[in-house]
Structure formats: C-alpha cells, structure tokens
Structure 1
Amino acid sequence: MLFWLLKHVLLGPVLRVLYRPRVVGRENVPATGPVIVAPNHPAFADSFFVPLTTPRPIVFLGKNEYFTTPGLRGRLMNAFFRGVGTIPVDRTGGRAAAAALDTAARVLGEGRVFGIYPEGTRSPDGRIYRGRTGVARLALRTGAPVVPCAVRGTDRVSWRGGLPRFPRVEITFGKPMTFTGEQDHQTLRAVTDEIMAELTRLSGLPYVDSYSPGPARRQGKGEAGAD
C-alpha cells in the first residue's frame, strides 16, 4: 500500500513534474514471475527513480544505516525504503555476502522482482564500472531473467546545499537476458561482463574496466550522489 501511495500519489507525481523522466522499454520487464533488474548506479537518487519507474514492485537490499539513522531525516528514510520494498542487510562480517544472496534468492523464489546494482557501489563520475559477479551468481542460481536498466541524469540531481537542479532523468529497460551454466569463476565473469556490456550499450555512457572506487566526495555541491 505504501509503495502504491509513494509511486502514484506522494512522490512519483513530484518526480515526474520536476525531472520529466523519460522511461523506455518498460514492457521489457516481464509482467509475472521472478525477474532481476540490474541498473548502473550513478547516484543515490537511483534509489528513488528506479523503484518508481519499474512497472512492478521491486525489492532492493539496503545497508542498515538507511533504517537506523536518528532524527526526522532518519525516520523519513526508513519509511521511504521500507515503503519501496528495501530489505535491511548487515554488510559486515564474513557471511554478509552469502546472507544477502540467500535473501535475494528467496525474493525471486516468491516470484518477485529483485534489484541489484552490478557495480556494487555508486559510480564516482557517472561512468559505468566493471561489474561484480553477484548478479551472475544470482541469475545462474535461480534461473531468473536479468533485465538491464540503464540510468542517466541522476548524477546531476541536486537536493541539498546550493541551488537545486532538475535535469531530465532517463531510464531504459533492456530486453531480458537469460543465462545457464556452472557457477565457476570463468562463467560468472563472462555473464557479468555481458550484462555490463549491455548496460553500456543502452546508456551510451563510457565504460571503465576496473571496479568503482565508490562515490566521490562532492563537498559543497549538494549532489544527490554524494555521501
């Protein structure tokens, strides 16, 4: 219910007016059954635009800090992320990655849509970086199709500090990609690289063949992608 309210009444209409999001290929997300949506990750704002433009409710894993931040800002973040279906996960400890993968597989086993950022963290400069193999491991384990989701423009969104900026955001859903094979390193790497190549093609953004170092520190610029 909260997801529906956020998407159609509270937040979705505001984002559509301010950012005029252009959504292409929405029909490529299967109407039923398990689906993995795999977006590139240029900014924190992706956590707003991707769930609100995906035609079905989508589940992401989110770090615990999104749910435990104190104060009004923390309560608002908690309400939003729970409303759009984000599941809190502890990313520390030796079994964190396995627990996250088990949670994702459970969501897909229920026939739902699971979202995962293949780069593993936000891009520091809007370019697409080398993908980590978690998305391939999940696709091969569950057999769920992967829908690449190219995101453009969110790295230019400004929400705090300085003058607000309202660039047009573009979201493109590619055709579903299905994979089979063993979960050996070579296959996992090949599947991940194929997904990243399609994200690069759909977005038209430059590709960097190294892992993202994480979000840039844009002090004083108030960009949504900043920590």
Structure 2
Amino acid sequence: MSRSVLKAILGLLMRVLYRPRVEGVENIPGDGPVILAGNHVTFVDSLFLSLVVERQVYFIGKDEYVTGKGVKGRLMAWFFTTCGMIPVDRDGGHGGVAALMTGRRVLEEGRIFGIYPEGTRSPDGRLYRGRTGVARLALMTGAPVVPFAMVGTDKVQPGGSGMLRIAPVTIRFGDALEFARYEGMDRDRYVLRAVTDEVMSEVMRLGGQEYVDIYATKAKAA
C-alpha cells in the first residue's frame, strides 16, 4: 500500500512539474520476468523509470542508502526500498556476484528488474560500453530485454547536484529483445559480449547518445 501511495504522489508531482514524454511503454510485457536495460546519466533515472512503468521495477542500489542512522536514515531507507531498490554491498569482493544473483532471483519470481549495463553513471553524458551482466541475466533466466533511453534527465539534475531543475524529459522504450537462440551459453564470453553489444546498440539508437567503446569506470578514473 505504501508503494502505491508513494507512486501516486510522486507520479502526480512528476506529471505536473516535468510532463515527461513516454514512448513505447507498451513494449513492456504485462506479466512475467522482464529486464529493463538502459542508459544512466543521473541519479533520478531510476525514479523516473519507476514512475512511468505500471508494474513495479526493482533495482540494485548501494546498501549505504538504507543503513543511515536517525530519523533521516530511516526515512531514506523507507523511500528507497518502497521505490523498489534492493540494497547490495557492491564494494566488496563479491559485490558483482551478489548483484547478479539478486537480479536472477527477481526475474525468477516473474518480476521486472531494471539494470544499467554501463555499471555506473556516465561521467559526461555519452554512452559507454556495457558490462555483460545484462546478457548473463537474460541467458540464465530466458527473460526478454526491453531497452530504454533516458533523454533530458541530465538537465533535471546537472552534474549529479542535489538541486533538481525543471526540464523536459523523454523516456523511450524499444522492442523487446529475445535471446533464446543462445540458450545454455551464458558462460561463453563471446556470446555474452555479442548480446550486450546488441542491447547497447538499441539503447544508443533510442537515446541518440555518442557511443564510447570503453567502460565508464575507466573514463572516470582517467
């Protein structure tokens, strides 16, 4: 109930303030497991995505978002978990495996799992090389991948600042991608790369971003 109330309130505010344009949302199946895979330019991407998709979308998030102390910490924990965030310690040595297994569990329960294949927010608005976790999830579970692109959210929260601005936002969803032809090949690195690149190609087409064939984490480090 709290999730429905929060979504209704935030959804109303979003429609009044931002009037987002949503394209292709009918491409998301009405039931069964689905992977939503898209670009990541700012912190509010997950919030916008959750509010425009009718079904509940689950994401992986840093566990520090739900471990704060005091009233503020409890409110943050309630907000993020209500919005569908599943906390995972991604900084540990097994963080990637934990995130992958969490996504697999969500999909095997017939739910929607949202993932940003770049692995982190883009440092400069360009689209970076996708990591193969999205491909492994698709091949392990048989779930279709619906690519999406956020356009304009970087203007809502420029530079990841805490202050939100009013700017036009468009969320585009592409056709669902099926990878049944690769069944049983979730450990073949060439197949995983091919599937990931196909997903990222669709994300690039939907969002019109310049593509950079290196990982975003490497670009940030440089």
1:23-77 residue CA offsets vs partner (Å, 9 max, x unmatched):
1111000001000011210000112101111121011111111112335543332
Equivalent in the alignment of 2:69: 70
Task: Count residues with an aligned counterpart.
Answer: 213
- Taking the aligned partners of 2:151 and 2:124, their CA distance within structure 1 comes to 12
**Post-superposition offset of 1:106:** 1.1
* Letter aligned with residue 24 of structure 1: E
Equivalent in the alignment of 2:29: 30
- Which sits farther off after the overlay, 136-145 or 101-110? 101-110
Equivalent in the alignment of 1:223: none
Q: Which structure shows the higher helix fraction? A: 2
- Taking the aligned partners of 2:117 and 2:56, their CA distance within structure 1 comes to 19
**Post-superposition offset of 1:2:** 2.1
- Taking the aligned partners of 1:20 and 1:200, their CA distance within structure 2 comes to 23
Q: Please give the secondary structure, in 2, of the residue aligned with 1:111.
A: coil
Q: CA-atom RMSD, angstroms?
A: 1.8
Structure 1 spans left out of the alignment, 5+ residues: 217-227
Structure 2 length-normalised TM: 0.90
Query: Structure 1 128/73 Cα, relative in aligned 2: closer, same or farther at 3 Å?
Result: farther
- Taking the aligned partners of 1:81 and 1:210, their CA distance within structure 2 comes to 30
Asked if the contact 1:140/1:179 (under 8 Å) is kept, the reply is yes
Q: Identity, % of aligned pairs? A: 57
- Taking the aligned partners of 1:157 and 1:74, their CA distance within structure 2 comes to 25
* Letter aligned with residue 95 of structure 1: H
Counterpart mapping for 1:40-119 below 5 A: 40-119=39-118
* Letter aligned with residue 207 of structure 2: S
Asked if the contact 1:26/1:55 (under 8 Å) is kept, the reply is no
User: Paired residue for 1:208, among 203, 209, 212?
Assistant: 212
Structure 2 spans left out of the alignment, 5+ residues: none
